[in-house]
């Protein structure tokens, strides 16, 4: 090759280098795609455990959020819970000696009941006259509570034998001229009778129910052997939804007032709508003991 050809080829090479685009000069090389590194069995197990832990924490947080009312101000939920669980009446019994002429109209436990002799006296399924457990004079109590009668006299009767028989009688109007006329009375010690002494009744409205035991109207009932409503037919299980009266065993510091068998408890249940309408012909009475 001549010197002329050498110089011409060199010149052509320089011209070609000058016409190369910047992008072609600076373009980075294409990286080779490599597969991700494989995880060990230990790493896979740890990741699975972490996912399970996070899932449990989410489930627990969701459950707690459903149980608690909204702290931002769900006042209606708070009121509904409070009215269902609380707001009941404690019954205080004051033992008295009523050997003389009793006050037929007063709120009390045991003794000779108020009765209008123009009405048929309550009897049990065998036709035997029943005896007074407790009566409440709402004219005298003056309770401002729409769930209970505002006037009249409410009586709770039980059979004179261990049968689970009880009746509730409501006298919308009281005959102040009524006099006892050979009416049955609660014997003070006859083997079965739960009432061992007469007592005046006082009611105290309360909103904190710290125990199921005790004498009360409304609230949570106490049982020794179990809730009898659980053994009713399915269509009746939820009917008796309100505790109308509970009378517990009361030893009164060694001077008993009422004892159900071996330290038991007696309950009257009613439907809330029946109570609102002052209909007391369909109640459930039950007592049990240890």
Which of 56 and 272 is assigned the larger pLDDT?
272
Task: Say if CB 250 and CB 93 are below 8 A apart.
Answer: yes
Pairing of strands 131-137, 108-109: antiparallel
Length of the chain: 290
- Read off φ and ψ for residue 59, nearest 5 degrees: -65, -40
Instruction: Tell me how far apart the alpha carbons of residues 92 and 171 are, in angstroms, rounded to a whole number.
Output: 23
Q: For residue 140, give the H/E element and its range.
A: helix 138-141
The answer on pLDDT for 67 being more than 80 is no
Single pTM value for the model: 0.69
Confidence class for position 68, pLDDT limits 50, 70, 90: low
- Read off φ and ψ for residue 157, nearest 5 degrees: -110, 150
CA-to-CA separations, 150 to 88, 146, 180, 239, in angstroms, rounded:
16, 8, 25, 24
Instruction: Tell me how far apart the alpha carbons of residues 128 and 167 are, in angstroms, rounded to a whole number.
Output: 13
Q: Could you report the per-residue pLDDT of 2-20, keeping only the tens digit for each?
A: 444 554 555 555 555 555 4
Instruction: Tell me how far apart the alpha carbons of residues 203 and 226 are, in angstroms, rounded to a whole number.
Output: 27
CA-to-CA separations, 21 to 29, 218, 228, in angstroms, rounded:
16, 94, 96
Which of 150 and 53 is assigned the larger pLDDT?
150
Fold of 81-288: Hypothetical protein YwqG fold (2.30.320)
Task: Say if CB 64 and CB 172 are below 8 A apart.
Answer: no
Can you give the pLDDT at residue 48? 75
Task: Say if CB 153 and CB 172 are below 8 A apart.
Answer: no
The answer on pLDDT for 116 being more than 80 is yes
**Which 8-state DSSP code applies to residue 129?**
B
The answer on pLDDT for 168 being more than 50 is yes
* 13-34 residues labelled b (16+ CB within 10 A) or e (exposed): eeeeeeeeeeeeeeeeeeeeee
The answer on pLDDT for 137 being more than 90 is yes
Task: Say if CB 111 and CB 96 are below 8 A apart.
Answer: no
The answer on pLDDT for 192 being more than 60 is yes
Which of 188 and 93 is assigned the larger pLDDT?
93
Share of the chain above pLDDT 90, in %: 45
Confidence class for position 252, pLDDT limits 50, 70, 90: very high
The answer on pLDDT for 41 being more than 80 is no
Which of 179 and 231 is assigned the larger pLDDT?
231
User: How does the average pLDDT of the chain come out, rounded?
Assistant: 80
**CA quadruple 218, 201, 114, 170: dihedral, nearest 10:** -10
Confidence class for position 80, pLDDT limits 50, 70, 90: very low
Q: For residue 5, give the H/E element and its range.
A: helix 3-18
Task: Enumerate residues 6+ apart whose C-beta is below 8 A from 101.
Answer: none
């Amino acid at each position: 090759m001549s010197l002329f050809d050498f110089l011409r080829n060199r010149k052509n090479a320089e011209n070609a280098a000058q016409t190369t685009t910047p992008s072609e000069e600076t373009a980075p090389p294409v990286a080779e795609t490599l597969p991700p590194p494989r995880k060990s069995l230990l790493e896979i197990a740890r990741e699975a455990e972490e996912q399970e832990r996070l899932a449990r924490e989410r489930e627990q947080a969701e459950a707690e959020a459903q149980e608690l009312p909204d702290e931002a101000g769900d006042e209606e939920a708070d009121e509904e819970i409070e009215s269902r669980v609380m707001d009941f009446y404690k019954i205080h019994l004051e033992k008295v000696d009523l050997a003389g002429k009793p006050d037929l109209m007063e709120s009390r436990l045991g003794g000779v009941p108020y009765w209008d002799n123009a009405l048929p006296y309550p009897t049990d399924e065998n036709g035997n006259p029943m005896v007074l457990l407790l009566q409440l004079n709402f004219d005298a109590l003056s309770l401002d509570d729409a769930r209970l009668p505002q006037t009249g006299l409410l009586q709770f009767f039980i059979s004179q034998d261990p049968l689970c028989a009880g009746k509730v009688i409501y006298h919308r109007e009281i005959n102040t001229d009524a006099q006892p006329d050979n009416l049955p009375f609660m014997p003070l010690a006859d083997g079965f009778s739960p009432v061992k002494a007469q007592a005046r009744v006082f009611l105290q409205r309360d909103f904190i129910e710290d125990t199921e035991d005790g004498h009360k109207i409304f609230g949570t009932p106490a049982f020794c052997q179990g809730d009898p409503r659980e053994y009713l037919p399915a269509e009746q299980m939820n009917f008796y939804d309100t505790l109308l009266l509970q009378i517990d065993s009361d030893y009164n510091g060694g001077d008993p007032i009422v004892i159900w068998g071996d330290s038991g408890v007696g309950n009257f249940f009613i439907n809330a709508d029946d109570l609102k309408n002052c209909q007391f012909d369909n109640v459930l009475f039950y007592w049990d003991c240890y």
